[in-house]
Amino acid sequence: MIPLTLASVRRITLAWLWASTLTLLCAGTYAVELPDFTRLVKERAGAVVNISTVRPARNYGLGEDTPDWLRRFVPDQPRRPQSLGSGFIISADGYVLTNYHVVEGAEEVIVRMNDRRELTADIVGLDERSDLALLKVVTSEPLPTVEVGSSGKLEVGEWVLAIGSPFGFNYSVTAGIVSAKGRSLPDDNNENYVPFIQTDVAINPGNSGGPLFNLEGEVVGINSQIYTRTGGFMGVSFAIPIDVAMEVVDQLIETGNVSRGWLGVMIQSVDRKLAQSFGLERPAGALVSRVLTGSPAEAAGIVEGDIIVRFNDLEVDLSSDLPHLVGRVRAGTTVPVVIFREGQKRSLPVKVGELAPRSKSQVGRAEPARPAHNVLGLEVEELPTELGDREGVEAGVWVTRVHQGPAMDAKVRRGDIIVSLNQQTVGSVSQFNEIVAALPKGDRVPMRVMRGRQERYVSLRVPAFAP
């Protein structure tokens, strides 16, 4: 055993004191840097609301010709309000912002305040592409409002806070940081009109439509979606930038619908091999794979093989950046577009057109769902001439509703254009119905659809028995 001298004891004691002091100093530093959200919540929670809706009662398929004796065995289903999401008040006279999917199909919308008051709201306008809905409550006194900030000033790593009603637990507060900006969701398929803010704030069903605050107490986003494999929070949440949302709000208040820019190209991403083959220094931009006839792109001289690297003086780093950059430009505006062609960059002036509506941005109440009319679970209409011209489709039918069934399982969407079914060209609704009626029961058949000016095949399994 080595004996300890007085000098050794002093050195050990001094080292321990220094280590303890540094630990306390570091702990104090981190404690100072961690944000305190209590004041923010107290000041802003009053402008956050819970959204409940009343939807059409279930009728279990009973029609007007159902016999009275059969109706007696089917109990009436009461129409009760159902808490579906959150929202926030943006003006003292009662304008409320929330998500489109929170109020879609509602016959009545109820806004519940922080003080438990319940107010009936009218739907001013809906915009499905941005997943936004603008409501208006009737009030005789000024309401508490949020302060609208700027999502453009957000920095990755910045603290943010959400207030909402996950799973119906009203006014729940969660916090985190901005994980990324300008995100495109995996299933956007060239229809990305929102450059999402990605956060690690805990968001769950019921948070939809609620505000995302910065440390200044300003709303910088609207909590909209989560990426999950379990149905619950997994650390990846997405919010609509408030700058995008307020542009939609201004149009909904002014006209009741939303106009978006349209370029008229089909694009794909540029990987390392493509960048090398085109002579680009690095993979970037949106590669034009098709230019639609009569489109603004064609009129401006853009051709297949061009790589769009800048649009309206903004960089196009990823191909997914282009749709939301174009969509935010008002129709009729001329903007500079920089393309990379034959080893050189050149700038072209492009007069942006107007994107054809997938479904009209609605004013007033949304219509209740109607029953499907075929075994695929699809309702279709004749293809509008203007839509066909803009999409570059000469023939087809327009999907207006998708119900439970083979089409929904194959991820067919409302707004898709069906151009062929079971390798047969679809030219009209009557022709489509004839093809559907002759489909082989229990077999899989291919269907070709146009979505977002991009054609793709989906596989449908025809039911063995008609429902």
- The bridge status of strand 108-112 relative to strand 454-461 is unpaired
Q: Which residues of 225-251 are buried (b: 16+ CB within 10 A; e: fewer)?
A: bbeeeeeebeebbbbbbbbbbbbbbeb
Dist. CA 336–CA 313, nearest whole Å: 7
Q: pLDDT band at 220, cuts 50/70/90? A: very high
Between the alpha carbon of residue 144 and those of residues 97, 118, 137, 160, 216, the distances in Å are 14, 14, 13, 21, 17
Instruction: Tell me: pLDDT of 364 over 50.
Output: no
Other CB atoms within 10 Å distance of the CB of residue 56 = 13
Contact call for residues 61 and 173 (beta carbons, < 8 A): no
Dist. CA 44–CA 214, nearest whole Å: 11
Q: Which of 65-79, 281-295, 404-418 has the highest mean pLDDT?
A: 281-295
Q: Which residue has the higher pLDDT, 296 or 20?
A: 296
Q: Which pLDDT score is estimated for 18?
A: 66
Instruction: Tell me: pLDDT of 75 over 60.
Output: no
- The bridge status of strand 218-226 relative to strand 147-148 is parallel
Among 14-23, 264-273, 284-293, the least confident range:
14-23
Q: pLDDT band at 153, cuts 50/70/90? A: very high
Dist. CA 96–CA 183, nearest whole Å: 25
Instruction: Tell me: pLDDT of 208 over 70.
Output: yes
Instruction: Tell me: pLDDT of 247 over 50.
Output: yes
pLDDT, average across residues 339-358:
90
Q: Which pLDDT score is estimated for 84?
A: 77
Q: pLDDT band at 160, cuts 50/70/90? A: very high
Q: Which residue has the higher pLDDT, 92 or 185?
A: 92
Q: pLDDT band at 467, cuts 50/70/90? A: very low
Give every CB contact of residue 451 below 8 A, 6+ residues apart in sequence: 189, 191, 413, 415, 416, 417
Which of these, 257, 226, 253, 254, lies nearest to 239 by C-alpha position?
A: 226
pLDDT, average across residues 428-440:
89
Residue 420 annotated as catalytic: no
Instruction: Tell me: pLDDT of 205 over 60.
Output: yes
Which of these, 175, 264, 191, lies nearest to 223 by C-alpha position?
A: 175
Residue 347 annotated as catalytic: no
Residue 101 annotated as catalytic: yes
Q: Which of 16-20, 83-87, 210-214 has the highest mean pLDDT?
A: 210-214
Among 312-321, 345-354, 361-370, the least confident range:
361-370
Q: Which of 40-54, 260-274, 418-432, 446-460 has the highest mean pLDDT?
A: 40-54
Dist. CA 120–CA 111, nearest whole Å: 6
Q: pLDDT band at 462, cuts 50/70/90? A: confident
Q: Which of 177-191, 270-284, 329-343 has the highest mean pLDDT?
A: 329-343
pLDDT tens-digit map of 226-241: 887 777 788 899 999 9
Catalytic residue from among 52, 83, 86, 101: 101
Q: pLDDT band at 121, cuts 50/70/90? A: very high
Q: Which pLDDT score is estimated for 14?
A: 63
Q: Which pLDDT score is estimated for 388?
A: 80
Task: Output phi, psi for 398, to 5 deg.
Answer: -100, 125
Distance of CA 16 to the CA centre of its chain: 56
Task: Output phi, psi for 319, to 5 deg.
Answer: -60, -30
Tokens 């959150």 sit on residue: 86
Tokens 């707004």 sit on residue: 415
Instruction: Tell me: pLDDT of 39 over 50.
Output: yes
Mean pLDDT of the chain: 83
Dist. CA 146–CA 273, nearest whole Å: 48
Instruction: Tell me: pLDDT of 87 over 70.
Output: yes
Q: Which pLDDT score is estimated for 80?
A: 57
| Rg of the chain in Å (alpha carbons) | 27
Contact call for residues 401 and 376 (beta carbons, < 8 A): no
Catalytic residue from among 52, 83, 130, 131: 131
pLDDT, average across residues 383-395:
80
Q: Which residue has the higher pLDDT, 211 or 456?
A: 211
Dist. CA 288–CA 306, nearest whole Å: 6
pLDDT, average across residues 352-364:
62
Domains recognised in the chain with CATH numbers: 28-258 (2.40.10.120), 261-354 (2.30.42.10), 378-461 (2.30.42.10)
Between the alpha carbon of residue 215 and those of residues 45, 178, 200, 218, 370, the distances in Å are 14, 12, 16, 7, 46
Instruction: Tell me: pLDDT of 189 over 50.
Output: no
Give every CB contact of residue 287 below 8 A, 6+ residues apart in sequence: 267, 268, 269, 270, 274, 278, 305, 306, 307, 319
pTM score, whole prediction: 0.65
Give every CB contact of residue 292 below 8 A, 6+ residues apart in sequence: 264, 265, 266, 298, 390, 391, 392, 453
Catalytic residue from among 208, 237, 319, 320: 208
